[in-house]
Each structure stands twice: as C-alpha cells, then as structure tokens.
Amino acid sequence: MKNHYLSLVTKLTLKEIKARYKQSFFGFLWIIFNPFFQMLIMSFVFSQIIRFGNFGVPYAIFIYAGLLPWTFFSLSLTSSTGILIDNASLLKKIYFPREVFVLSTLLAKAFDFVLASLVFFLLMIYFKVPFTFYILFAIPIFLIQFLFTFSLGLLLSSLNLFYRDIQYIFNLLLSLWFYVTPVIYATEFFPEKYRWIFAYNPMSVFINAYRQVLLGGSAPNWESLGIGTGISILFFFFSFYIFKTLEKVFADVV
C-alpha cells in the first residue's frame, strides 16, 4: 500500500479511537470495563449458579480468554457492516481504496483488544498461571483471526451497501454463532457427535488456540489451526474479489 494510503488508514484509525470515547468520563477505561464486567457476571453465573465442571484453571480467566477474541470479532464486524454507509460522502469524492474503511475499523478494535489484554495478563499473575514461551504464539493466532475478521468485514460492508437487511440478518447470526463457539464453555462439554462443528468454525479454532498457548502452556492444535488458517486465506481472496468487483458502483448506490 502506498504511503499516502497508509497515512489515510492511520488517520481513520485514530479518528475512530478518539471519537468513540471523546465525551466519555472514563474514556479509554471503557475498553477494559466492558469485557472485564462481562467476565465477572458470566464467571459468577456459570461457576456459582450453573456449574459446567472443572476447567483446569479458574473459570474467570478461562472465560476471559474466550471473551477477548470474541469481543474483538463481534465489535469489529458490527462496526464494519455499516462503515461504507456511514462514510457515504467520502465514497463520492476522490478515489482511494475503499477497503481502508474496514481496515481502519479493525485496527481501532485491535487497539481495544491489546489494551483489554493487559487485564488478562494481570489475571494470569493473580491466579498464578505460569507464563511460558508458548504465549508468543498468541501473536500469529491473532493475525490469522484478524485476517478472517477483515475478510468477513469486507464482504458484509459491501453487501450491506446494496441490501440493508444484511446488518440485521448478520446480528441475528452473530448471536447464534456465539453459542456454537466455546466462549463460555469448553469443547469437551459439548456432545461428542457434534464437536465436528468446532473444527470448521474458525472462531472456535482461534479461541481454543488462545487457551492452549496462554492457559495450557502448550502449542496450539496445528491441525485445527491449519484448517482455520486455510479457511481465512481462501475467504480473504473470495471476499476481496467481491469487494473490488462491487467497489466500482459504490458511489452510485449510496
């Protein structure tokens, strides 16, 4: 990407970060508060009221390891779906790659993810979860998840420009997706005959991989991560093709 496009991505990303918390009393602390209090509520409900079983680590940090990547995923796509409509005036002006809107949105959410992850590492210290070399694998896992999320964001944002029902349909599907992704439970607690779903659900692959390298002190399941990576790469080429094909008429339909 050319330097002036990189500059545009940077400016749009900073604009997204600043605008979201500009008139908020707690400001950037909301980035931490939202997943943290979700974790507290869910850990109380599912460890004290509805008991799932033994997770090998305190349930609070187990669920937080799932909530962080899921929150990044869901908020990124919720924002990306309507990003082209929100910037309709810019679409009619000088040309620049329209995918920078989606990219800047994801980078802003990635900033939130990194900041909220600081609390996770504090929880690791508090619960005496050992830091191992395998923690470094969380970086490539996040990059693969970022690619998958970016790909889906490209597809949703372009289709939503033509069919506004897309955002409502996807919000419904996102709610269903949450329950077939091991955010609040471990895959081992799911009926064995249905566990094949997790192998082809990229978000399940990513969340399980995060837990393995952060909490399990071991390498991720390479076979599952390979499937998740393959799906992400293929989906990127498909989504990018659709996005660039439709991009030619973006300005005509906004």
For 23-42, write each residue's pLDDT tens digit. 554 555 656 666 666 666 66
List the single range of 49-63, 76-90, 137-151, 226-240 with lowest mean pLDDT.
49-63
Percent pLDDT > 70 in the chain is: 81
> Which pLDDT score, from 0 to 100, does residue 32 have?
67
* 49: confidence class by pLDDT, cuts 50, 70, 90: very low
Are 12 and 101 spatial neighbours (Cβ–Cβ below 8 Å)? Answer: yes
Residue 132 has pLDDT above 50, yes or no: yes
Residue 171 has pLDDT above 90, yes or no: no
Q: What is the mean pLDDT of the chain?
A: 83
For 201-221, write each residue's pLDDT tens digit. 999 999 999 999 999 989 999
For 76-126, write each residue's pLDDT tens digit. 999 999 888 887 777 777 677 888 899 999 999 999 899 889 889 998 999
d(CA 241, CA 149): 16
Are 46 and 137 spatial neighbours (Cβ–Cβ below 8 Å)? Answer: no
Span 140-164, average pLDDT = 94
d(CA 101, CA 11): 11
Strand, helix or coil for residue 55: coil
Tokens of 53: 């079983």
Q: Which residues of 191-215 are buried (b: 16+ CB within 10 A; e: fewer)?
A: eeeeeeebbebbbbbbbbbbbbbbb
Residue 238 has pLDDT above 80, yes or no: yes
